[in-house]
């Protein structure tokens, strides 16, 4: 988790973003983080049809297309 946060911090700095990691007590399950990303996507109208969705266990966080930020 700490190594991932270091990597994310580097990516955020390169993109002019701020990393806001959550308290370690809530890092037990990624469900909350996935749900937050989903809420942000839905807020801007980014919806993926169920037939187009899938699971990629090794999906890289630096490959996520962020469409909910200006």
CA distances from 50 to 5, 27, 35, 39, 43 (A): 30, 27, 16, 16, 18
Indicate the pLDDT class of residue 58, thresholds 50, 70 and 90: confident
Digit-coded pLDDT (tens) for 36-48 = 888 998 999 989 8
Q: pTM score, two decimals?
A: 0.50
Between the two ends of the chain, the Cα-to-Cα distance in Å is: 28
Indicate the pLDDT class of residue 4, thresholds 50, 70 and 90: confident
Indicate the pLDDT class of residue 17, thresholds 50, 70 and 90: very high
Indicate the pLDDT class of residue 13, thresholds 50, 70 and 90: very high
């Amino acid at each position: 988790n700490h190594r991932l946060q270091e990597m994310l911090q580097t990516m955020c700095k390169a993109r002019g973003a701020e990393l806001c990691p959550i308290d370690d007590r809530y890092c037990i399950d990624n469900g909350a983080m996935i749900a937050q990303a989903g809420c942000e996507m839905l807020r801007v109208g980014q919806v993926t049809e169920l037939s187009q969705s899938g699971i990629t266990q090794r999906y890289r966080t630096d490959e996520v297309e962020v469409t909910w930020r200006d």
